[in-house]
Amino acid sequence: MTDLFSPLKLGAIEISNRVLMAPLTRCRADEHHVPTDLMAEHYGQRASGGLLIAEATMAMEGNSAFWREPGIYSDAQVDSWKKVTDAVHANGGKIVLQIWHGGRACHPALNDGKQPVAPSAIAITNVDVHTPEGKQNYTVPRALDDAEIPAIIDGFVRAAENAKRAGFDGVEVHGANGYLLDQFLRDGANHREGPYGGSLENRARLLLEVIEAVSQVWGADRVGVRLSPLNSFNSMKDSDPIGLMTWLSQKLSDYGLAYLHLMRADFLGEQQMDVVTPTREHYKGHLIVNMGYSGQEAQQVIETGLADAVAFGVPFIANPDLPHRLKIGAELNQADPATFYSQGREGYNDYPTLEALK
């Protein structure tokens, strides 16, 4: 019987189990967005996950949306990410890098005063941004010209090339959670006209062009994509999430991707509907689901064939040995939200394994 602990081949990536680590922004890079030794230790501790999806990483310089998130555009970043991938591989794990552009979620206070860019000049209003000077309101972004879009795609290509140099097993294109590619995709944030606005086909154009370009670097069978059709975080909304996912699932089926990573819910609880079932019906590839799954529910998802793997976020923060704990039904450590975005070892690398508790 196929279960949560059965091996799986995601495109060209062979994984030992279906307990995946979701990408988790933790702000442990240095002030130059260079990964730190803390990060190498952190990911190395969690290498028993079938696949680790490393946190949202800046594809190109000058587009910071968090304080001290990592990048993948400089030689120093590539060299430091190599320590991370080496640590994961030394412990028998697999890891892909989530490549990302923050779009309107970037802030001038994090980017030397530079105005952020987006599909349309519409600001985020339902959340604040963390900066070295404390929380601040988001600013109104500048709408990208169509002529600027090829440079965005080239930035993702360079990020994919650098991820390969750093020793990753593949990349995940971040098309979720209200960042640039998602801003183009959903009609609540994209009010533009022309080839990248209006119809669903036009709104999806940038995401698909990035996927196609990145696949030229890696081969599509080492490229995944993450989507969040319901998530209203970062002032996001689409008028027809089910129609969006039905169309995208059919379209993405033609690409031969390693996987589609679907966030099933809304951080803020504003939109509630089933997007997993229509995605599974229409997507002819490996489906990873994420957000709020218990071990028991994840097991049911795999057994019934609703998805091929389950990605865990917060439980993997506090449980470096999460697959083992789920397999034997052990109690889980509870994560401390106060340390999610702090910059030290506490709440990052100091959660004990079951073995350490003996």
Task: Please choose, from the candidates 253, 299, 302, 298, the residue with its C-alpha nearest in 3D space to the C-alpha of residue 278.
Answer: 253
In this structure, whether the domain defined by 8-357 belongs to CATH 1.10.132.20 is answered with: no
Could you tell me the residue ranges of all domains in the chain?
8-357
**pLDDT band, very low/low/confident/very high, at 357 (cuts 50, 70, 90):** confident
What does pLDDT average to over the chain? 97
d(Cα 159, Cα 217) in Å, to the nearest integer? 10
259 is catalytic: no
Q: What is the pLDDT of residues 16-61, one digit of tens each?
A: 999 999 999 999 999 999 999 999 999 999 999 999 999 999 999 9
Q: What is the pLDDT of residues 271-304, one digit of tens each?
A: 899 999 999 999 999 999 999 999 999 999 999 9
- Write out the two tokens for 61: 């310089």
Three-state DSSP at 130 gives strand
Residue 39 makes CB contacts below 8 A (sequence gap 6+) with 28, 29, 70, 80, 84
d(Cα 41, Cα 350) in Å, to the nearest integer? 10
- CB burial string 263-300: b at 16+ within 10 A, e below: bbbbbeeebeeebbebbbebbebbbbbbbebebeebbe
Q: DSSP letters along 53-78, please?
A: EEEEEESSTT---STT--BSSSHHHH
Output the pLDDT for position 190. 98
d(Cα 274, Cα 140) in Å, to the nearest integer? 32
Residue 304 near residue 279, CB atoms below 8 Å: no
Label residue 133 exposed, middle or buried (CB < 10 Å: 0-12, 13-18, 19+).
Answer: exposed
Supply the pTM of this predicted model. Answer: 0.98
Mean pLDDT of 231-260: 98
- Write out the two tokens for 29: 């890079």
- CB burial string 3-34: b at 16+ within 10 A, e below: ebbeebebbebebbbbbbbbbbbbbbbbeebb
**pLDDT band, very low/low/confident/very high, at 103 (cuts 50, 70, 90):** very high
- Write out the two tokens for 90: 């030394």
d(Cα 199, Cα 191) in Å, to the nearest integer? 10
Catalytic residue among 73, 138, 179, 348: 179
What is the maximum span of the chain, computed from C-alpha positions, in angstroms? Answer: 62
d(Cα 152, Cα 179) in Å, to the nearest integer? 13
